[in-house]
Amino acid sequence: MKIALINQPICQVLPPGLSSVGACSYGLATSLAQHSENQVFIYARQQTVNRQLYPDVENDYVDRNIHFRFLPSPKSDQILSKAARGFYQYVPFAPIFNRGMKPAPSQANWRYPGYSRRVAQDISQFDFDIIHIQHSSQFLPAMREFNPKAKIILQLHAALHPQSDAAMLANRLQYADRIVAVGNHVVDKVQQRFPQFADRAATLYNGFDAEYFTQEKQYKSDAQSVKRVMFVGRVTPEKGVHRLVQAFNSVAKRYPNVELLLYGGMGVGLLEESFPMNDQALLQSMRPWYKNYIQQLQDLLDPKIAPQVRFLGSVPYTELMQQYYAADVFVFPPIWEEPFGLPPIEAMAAGTPAVGTRLGGVMETIVHGETGLLVEPNNPAALADAIVQLLENDALRELMGRAARRHVFNHFTWNRIADRAMSLYNELLS
C-alpha cells in the first residue's frame, strides 16, 4: 500500500524537537513503515526543517523506511499570511464577516493555499492509494482536484471551531472519503455539526513511542524523600496551568515535602483557537489570562512556596522521558476541551499515575479510580485534593501507576494505532 501523510504545515516532523502534530505524523508513519508491504511518505514544509541538525536536507530524505518530501511554501503564501494576520489582529470590523465572531486562523482560507496546491500536484505523480491529511482541511479541495482516484482521509486533532463558517467547512469535507479524529468527543461534534458526513467519521487516537518506555518504574516508599508533581505541555491559559499553581499552594501546605516541575514552552496560545467564540461569559472569564500569563503565574504563587516550583521550559525528549519516570504524580488540568493530550499517556507509560480534568480527550485516556484521578475543571481545591490523595498513599500511587502503564500499552502504542489506521485504509480500498 502506498500511503502519503500530509503533515500540518506549522509542525516539525524530524526528531528531535518534534512538535504536536509533527510527533503524531512521525509516530504513525514509523509504525506503518514497519509493514513490508507499505510505502510511506511524509510531506512537510521545507521551512520547518531544523537546519542545524539537518543542514543538507532539501526535497528528499529517507529515515526508518519513511520517504520524506520537503516542499517549500511559495512567497505568495508568506505575503498573504502576513497581510491576513494584520487584518485579523488590528481591523476591528473583521468579525462582521464571520457572524460577529473573530474567526479561528487555523481553518482560514489564507493558510498556505499555494503550498497545498504544490503538495497536491507533487503527490499526483506517485499514484498513492491513501492520502492522509493531518488536520489542515484547507488541503482537501486541491488534493481531490489533482488526485481524483486516491482515497483521502482528513484527521482532526481538534474540533472544527464553532466560529468557523459551516458552509465553508462542509464544502471542504465533501472531498474526504473518511474524517477521523483523535477522540470520540471530536467525532461526536463532527457528526452533530455535519450530519451529512456522519457515516464518514471515525476515531483514530494518537499514540506514544513504546521504545522510550522499556524500563520499569521504581516507586518511592520513603516518607522523607521529596515527592515530584509534574506537568508537561504548553504553559498557556487553556492548559489550566494557573489552576495547577493555585492548587499547588494548597498542596505544599498540606504536604510540604513536595516540588512542582513544569515542562513546556512558554508561548501563550490564541483564545479563539481554544474556546467557542459565541460563549461570551466564558470569553470574558478567560481573556484576562491571555495577557502577561507567566507573570500572573508568578504572582499567584505563595512566596514561601515559590522555591518549590520550577519552570523548566522545553527539554530534549530523552530527558523528558526520564523525568516522567522520576515523577510521583503527573497533573494535566486543561480548562478547554483538550482534543487528546500526549503527555498523560507518556507519563502513564512510565508508570506514573495521572490527575486530569473531566474534559475532552483527557476522559478517554485517564481511567478515573484505576489509572489516576479526574476532577472538575477550573477547581483548584478539587485538584489539590486529588494530588494530595496520591502523595499521601504510596500503595495507591503504585497500584494506579502500574495499572496506567498496562492501560496505555494495551491501547495507545503507535503500533496499535497503526493497526487501526491500516484497518481504516483497507476498508476504504475494499
Instruction: Tell whether 163 and 258 lie within a shared domain.
Output: no
* 110-122 residue pLDDT tens: 889 999 999 999 9
Instruction: Tell whether 264 and 117 lie within a shared domain.
Output: no
Whether the pLDDT of residue 268 is over 90: the answer is: no
Instruction: Tell whether 372 and 315 lie within a shared domain.
Output: yes
Residues making up the chain, counted from first to last: 430
Instruction: Tell whether 222 and 277 lie within a shared domain.
Output: yes
Whether the pLDDT of residue 182 is over 70: the answer is: yes
Instruction: Tell whether 85 and 215 lie within a shared domain.
Output: no
Q: What is the CATH number of the domain that holds 12?
A: 3.40.50.2000
Say how far apart CA 186 and CA 217 lie, in whole Å.
33
Q: Are 146 and 120 in contact (CB under 8 A)?
A: yes
State residue 16's pLDDT score. Answer: 87
**DSSP track, 278-328:** T-HHHHHHHGGGGSSHHHHHHHHS-TTTGGGEEEEE---HHHHHHHHHH-S
Whether the pLDDT of residue 93 is over 60: the answer is: no
Q: Quote the pTM value.
A: 0.93
Say how far apart CA 266 and CA 294 lie, in whole Å.
8
Average pLDDT rounded to a whole number, residues 29-42: 96
State residue 161's pLDDT score. Answer: 74
Where residue 224 falls among pLDDT bands split at 50, 70, 90? Answer: confident
Instruction: Tell whether 54 and 103 lie within a shared domain.
Output: yes
Where residue 100 falls among pLDDT bands split at 50, 70, 90? Answer: low
Q: Give how many domains the chain has, as a whole number.
A: 2
The larger pLDDT score, comparing residue 302 to residue 85, is at: 302
Instruction: Tell whether 237 and 183 lie within a shared domain.
Output: no
Where residue 283 falls among pLDDT bands split at 50, 70, 90? Answer: confident
Q: Which residues pair with 62 in a beta bridge?
A: 67
Average pLDDT rounded to a whole number, residues 204-222: 93
Whether the pLDDT of residue 272 is over 80: the answer is: no
Q: What percent of the chain has pLDDT over 90?
A: 80
Say how far apart CA 318 and CA 248 lie, in whole Å.
27
Residue labelled with grid coordinates 483514530: 204
**DSSP track, 340-356:** --HHHHHHHHTT--EEE
Instruction: Tell whether 300 and 313 lie within a shared domain.
Output: yes
Whether the pLDDT of residue 160 is over 90: the answer is: no
Sheet holding 178-181, edge to edge: 60-63, 66-71, 39-45, 2-6, 130-134, 151-156, 178-181, 201-203
Q: How many CA atoms lie within 13 A of 96 on its CB side?
A: 5
The domain in which residue 235 lies consists of 210-411
State residue 271's pLDDT score. Answer: 81
Sheet holding 258-263, edge to edge: 309-313, 258-263, 227-232, 329-332, 354-357, 372-375
Whether the pLDDT of residue 183 is over 90: the answer is: yes
Instruction: Tell whether 232 and 109 lie within a shared domain.
Output: no
Extract the C-alpha cell encoding 260. Answer: 512542582
Pairing of strands 329-332, 227-232: parallel
Nearest Cα residue to 331 out of 273, 399, 294, 377: 377
State residue 94's pLDDT score. Answer: 59
Whether the pLDDT of residue 309 is over 60: the answer is: yes
The larger pLDDT score, comparing residue 401 to residue 35, is at: 401
Mean of the per-residue pLDDT values of the chain: 93
Say which DSSP state 72 is in.
Answer: P
Q: Is the peptide bond before 16 cis (omega within 30 degrees of 0)?
A: yes
Instruction: Tell whether 343 and 218 lie within a shared domain.
Output: yes
Side chain identity at residue 291, one-letter code: K
Lowest mean pLDDT across 127-141, 278-292, 391-405: 278-292
**DSSP track, 200-231:** GEEE----B-GGG--SPP-----TTSPEEEEE
Where residue 90 falls among pLDDT bands split at 50, 70, 90? Answer: low
State residue 34's pLDDT score. Answer: 95
What Å distances lie between residue 14 and 29, 54, 56, 70, CA to CA?
A: 12, 9, 13, 11
* 245-261 residue pLDDT tens: 999 999 999 999 999 99
Centroid of chain to Cα 313: 17
* 124-151 residue pLDDT tens: 999 999 999 999 999 999 999 999 999 9
Q: Are 363 and 374 in contact (CB under 8 A)?
A: yes
Say how far apart CA 375 and CA 117 lie, in whole Å.
45
The larger pLDDT score, comparing residue 107 to residue 239, is at: 239
Terminus-to-terminus CA distance in the chain, angstroms?
12
Whether the pLDDT of residue 45 is over 90: the answer is: yes
Instruction: Tell whether 189 and 314 lie within a shared domain.
Output: no
Say how far apart CA 144 and CA 321 lie, in whole Å.
40
Instruction: Tell whether 230 and 176 lie within a shared domain.
Output: no
Q: Name, of 72-81, 89-98, 283-292, 360-369, the range with top average pLDDT.
A: 360-369
State residue 19's pLDDT score. Answer: 79
Nearest Cα residue to 46 out of 30, 33, 61, 35: 61
Q: Are 372 and 354 in contact (CB under 8 A)?
A: yes
Side chain identity at residue 260, one-letter code: L
State residue 107's pLDDT score. Answer: 82
Where residue 101 falls among pLDDT bands split at 50, 70, 90? Answer: low
Nearest Cα residue to 127 out of 155, 157, 147, 101: 147
